[in-house]
């Protein structure tokens, strides 16, 4: 195989640390597999002394398959694995652990649910809260933090510390470890047991790491221990594609690698074999705005190609309709469904597009699970109001809405499975301020019965006071009320197209069924337009990429406030852009959920001077 000069230098590297900066589409997997082969064939290294690490099991298997094809029919004992697989292997030998000792995801959720019950925490969004807790616990362990110095984003410090302590105690009592414990325990083992450390240092004398920009603090500390004393570290990555800080990734580790290893050589794989020159020039224009990065310019080995297409739309409806027309045009011109991807910042962005694709029977596949907006606890509250107005008198439905907003009505007041508001009045006959609220509720329900879905949601929010309840809840949960209001705005906007409750409910059912089908078929190989978040598009490529909702507050996300947050968001946009092989489209609506929006600062940063003059 013919290599370019930089690839040749990387493959031929013999001993000591080497930092390989590998731009998008620069052939890094090829370099890693050929480097492993070179060590064995030309340098006489025992294959069992080579360790190749990457971040996902799928990537490790793909790397192993590529290596196997390269060396032919022989099977060589090179170790390919994820950080977790390799570190668990070390723990297994030391502590006789088996797969039964690894905490399963559903067990973790069950433990946290039990802790929430024990602490008597009242939560409307228990699922979201548990997901946030799991991320925070992982972050604390992965960063090797002292819990006393951790400031929780989802609840008070006292509550988080209690949950964290109870969770770890439960794991110890059950002789279970989670994925983060694997790393922490492995580090502690290797620092305390010199004999065990030496055993694994002798085993893994050459360490090759892919996607090094995504490494966490504890993963790196273990690697440093294992690599001693030879420090035969061959690390490959791209600091411009570091997009997992929220999972504990520390791009600064790669940026500071030469401080830890002053003797390390550095090579840049600067030729992109994927994208056209136009796409790459535009992407370079964006990423150069980041200050904290290795200075580099990636060049394309391909044709000039078409200019990047940036378009503005009146609203999301127009944006989605145009995306469908564009897809149809590409299909008529010979592209396959699988050649086209629609990328977006978060997994809630494509809801409207999904509805349009369903409406026009265009096959699609969703790389990430899209949360069903109609399953959200706030949506369920809204629907409960409407269903009660339409005649649902069940205790369950009333309990869902009775104190949203506050009416000071206790659960004990609902003594029968079927609710009669006169019974509630009787229960509170000595409290006029409560009976007045019951009267008002009855009036509101009569009003809702006559409305269409859009007007009903607006009335529940503004007339009944549901928005006030949401503000109080956001304050209690330490989450931004704007995030909750955005979902309510979206819900209201999706209801606009349905003149009756029955049509809206029919749509809700069909939409839910389609999302379930997508989850079921997620790993099936089928034709369809790919819908994916920018995060999950990493490592993939498509002939045509369409980025939607390129808006300020969406990308960069509104939670990105600090300079390092904005730089990570810019890297994420860069990753999305560089998935495109032949054509890149970037779209944004100037109105979203009935409110004016601004195009993303990244759109302005990538516009050429000619584009800006035309505007």
CB burial of 383-418 (b: ≥16 within 10 Å; e: otherwise) equals bbbbbbbeebeeeebbebbbebbebebeeebbeeee
Among candidate residues 542, 614, 590, 554, the one with its CA nearest the CA of residue 279: 542
3-state secondary structure of 591: strand
Give the model's pLDDT for residue 611. Answer: 58
Provide the whole-model pTM: 0.89
pLDDT tens for residues 417-437?
Answer: 999 999 999 999 899 999 999
Mean pLDDT of 381-409: 94
Mean model confidence pLDDT for the chain: 92
Give the CA distances from residue 385 to residues 54, 101, 375, 379, in Å, rounded to whole numbers and listed in that order.
50, 46, 15, 10
Give dist(CA 13, CA 234) in Å, integer: 9
Structure tokens at 35: 């480097």
Q: Which residues contact 20 (CB under 8 A, 6 or more apart)?
A: 10, 28, 31, 234, 235, 236, 237, 266, 267, 269
Question: Using DSSP, how many helices (H) and how many strands (E) does the chain show?
Answer: 26, 16
Tell me how long the chain is: 615
Among candidate residues 545, 518, 615, the one with its CA nearest the CA of residue 326: 545
pLDDT tens for residues 73-111?
Answer: 778 899 999 999 999 999 998 998 998 999 999 999 999
Give the CA distances from residue 428 to residues 89, 394, 407, 412, 604, in Å, rounded to whole numbers and listed in that order.
64, 20, 12, 11, 60
HEC states along 33-72?
A: HHHHHHHHHCCCCCHHHEEEEECCHHHHHHHHHHHHHHHC
Mean pLDDT of 11-37: 93
Give the model's pLDDT for residue 236. Answer: 96
Question: Is a pLDDT exceeding 70 seen at residue 610?
Answer: no
Give the model's pLDDT for residue 285. Answer: 95
Q: Which residues contact 511 (CB under 8 A, 6 or more apart)?
A: 354, 355, 358, 372, 374
Angle at CA of residue 245, ends 240 and 247, nearest 5°: 135
Question: Is a pLDDT exceeding 70 seen at residue 242?
Answer: yes
Tell me the pLDDT band of 524, cut-offs 50, 70 and 90: low
Alpha helix segments (H runs only) across 251-393: 251-255, 257-260, 277-287, 316-332, 351-359, 377-389
Give the model's pLDDT for residue 526. Answer: 78
Tell me the pLDDT band of 157, cut-offs 50, 70 and 90: confident
Q: Provide the strand spans (E) within 362-471.
A: 364-366
User: What is the DSSP secondary structure assignment for residue 22, as one 8-state letter?
Assistant: E
DSSP states along 208-248: EESSGGG-BHHHHHHHHHHHTTTT-EEEEE-GGG---GGGT
Distance of CA 471 to the CA centre of its chain: 26
Give the CA distances from residue 425 to residues 16, 141, 410, 434, in Å, rounded to whole numbers and listed in that order.
81, 53, 12, 8
Mean pLDDT of 591-607: 92
As beta bridge partners, residue 236 has 20
pLDDT tens for residues 546-566?
Answer: 999 999 999 999 989 999 999
- Distance from the first to the final alpha carbon of the chain: 47
Distance of CA 283 to the CA centre of its chain: 22
Give dist(CA 366, CA 363) in Å, integer: 10
Give dist(CA 191, CA 189) in Å, integer: 6
Give dist(CA 608, CA 300) in Å, integer: 18
Give dist(CA 52, CA 37) in Å, integer: 12
Tell me the pLDDT band of 522, cut-offs 50, 70 and 90: low
Angle at CA of residue 441, ends 437 and 446, nearest 5°: 150
Given a contact cutoff of 8 angstroms between Cβ atoms, the answer to whether 257 and 559 are in contact is no
Mean pLDDT of 524-540: 89
Count of CA atoms in the C-beta half-sphere (13 A) of 387: 17
Mean pLDDT of 450-476: 94
Give the model's pLDDT for residue 607. Answer: 86
DSSP states along 154-219: SS-HHHHHHHHHHHHHHHHHTT-B-HHHHHHHHHHHHHH-HHHHHHHHHH-SEEEESSGGG-BHHH
Tell me the pLDDT band of 439, cut-offs 50, 70 and 90: very high
Query: Which range in 273-287, 470-484, 523-537 is most confidently predicted, on average pLDDT?
Result: 273-287
Neighbours of 131 (CB within 10 A): 14
Given a contact cutoff of 8 angstroms between Cβ atoms, the answer to whether 595 and 519 are in contact is no
- Indicate the range of 268-282, 490-504, 505-519 predicted with least confidence: 505-519
Look at strands 595-596 and 591-592 and give their pairing.
Answer: antiparallel
């Amino acid at each position: 195989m013919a290599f370019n000069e930089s690839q040749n230098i990387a493959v031929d590297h013999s001993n000591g640390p080497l930092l390989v900066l590998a731009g998008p589409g620069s052939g890094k997997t090829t370099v890693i597999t050929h480097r492993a082969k070179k060590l064995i064939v030309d340098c006489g290294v025992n294959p069992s002394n080579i360790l190749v690490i990457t971040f996902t099991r799928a990537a490790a298997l793909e790397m192993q398959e590529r290596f196997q094809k390269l060396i032919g029919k022989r099977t060589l004992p090179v170790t390919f694995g994820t950080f977790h697989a390799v570190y668990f292997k070390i723990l297994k030998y030391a502590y006789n652990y088996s797969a039964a000792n690894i905490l399963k995801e559903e067990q973790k959720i069950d433990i946290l649910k039990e802790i929430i019950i024990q602490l008597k925490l009242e939560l409307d969004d228990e699922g979201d809260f548990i997901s946030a807790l799991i991320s925070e616990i992982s972050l604390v362990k992965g960063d090797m933090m002292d819990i006393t110095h951790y400031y929780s984003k989802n609840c008070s410090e006292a509550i988080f510390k209690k949950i964290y302590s109870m969770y770890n105690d439960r794991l110890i009592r059950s002789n279970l470890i989670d994925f983060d414990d694997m790393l922490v325990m492995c580090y502690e083992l290797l620092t305390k047991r010199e004999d065990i450390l030496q055993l694994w240092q002798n085993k893994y004398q050459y360490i090759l790491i892919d996607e090094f920009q995504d490494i966490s603090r504890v993963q790196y500390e273990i690697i440093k221990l294992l690599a001693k004393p030879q420090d035969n570290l061959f690390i490959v990555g791209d600091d411009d594609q570091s997009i997992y800080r929220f999972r504990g990734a520390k791009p600064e580790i790669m940026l500071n690698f030469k401080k830890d290893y002053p003797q390390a050589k550095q090579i840049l794989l600067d030729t992109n074999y994927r994208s056209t020159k136009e796409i790459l020039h535009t992407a370079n224009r964006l990423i150069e705005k980041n200050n904290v990065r290795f200075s580099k310019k990636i060049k394309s080995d391909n044709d000039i190609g078409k200019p990047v297409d940036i378009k503005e739309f009146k609203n999301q409806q127009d944006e989605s309709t145009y995306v469908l027309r564009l897809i149809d045009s590409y299909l008529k011109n010979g592209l396959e469904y699988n050649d086209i991807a629609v990328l977006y910042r978060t997994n809630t962005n494509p809801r409207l597009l999904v509805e349009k694709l369903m409406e026009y029977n265009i096959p699609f596949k969703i790389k990430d699970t899209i949360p069903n907006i109609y399953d959200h606890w706030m949506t369920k509250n809204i629907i409960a109001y409407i269903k009660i107005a339409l005649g649902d008198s069940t205790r369950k439905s009333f309990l869902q809405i009775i104190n949203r907003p506050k009416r000071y009505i206790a659960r004990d007041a609902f003594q029968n499975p079927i609710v009669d508001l006169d019974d509630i009045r009787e229960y509170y006959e000595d409290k006029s301020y409560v009976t007045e609220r019951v009267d008002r509720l009855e009036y509101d329900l009569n009003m809702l019965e006559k409305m269409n879905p859009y007007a009903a949601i607006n009335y529940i929010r503004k007339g009944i006071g549901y928005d006030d309840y949401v503000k109080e809840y956001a304050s209690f949960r330490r989450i931004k009320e704007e995030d909750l209001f955005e979902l309510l705005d979206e819900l209201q906007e999706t209801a606009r197209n349905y003149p009756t409750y029955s049509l809206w409910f029919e749509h809700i059912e069909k939409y839910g069924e389609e999302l379930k089908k997508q989850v079921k078929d997620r790993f099936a190989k089928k034709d369809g337009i790919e819908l994916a978040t920018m995060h999950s598009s990493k490592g993939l490529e498509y002939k045509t990429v369409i980025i939607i909702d390129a808006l300020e507050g969406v990308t960069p996300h509104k939670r990105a406030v600090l300079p390092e947050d904005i730089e990570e968001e810019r890297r994420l946009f860069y990753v999305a852009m560089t998935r495109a092989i032949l054509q890149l489209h970037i779209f944004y609506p100037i109105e979203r959920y009935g409110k004016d929006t601004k195009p993303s600062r990244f759109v302005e940063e990538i516009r050429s001077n000619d584009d800006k003059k035309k505007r």
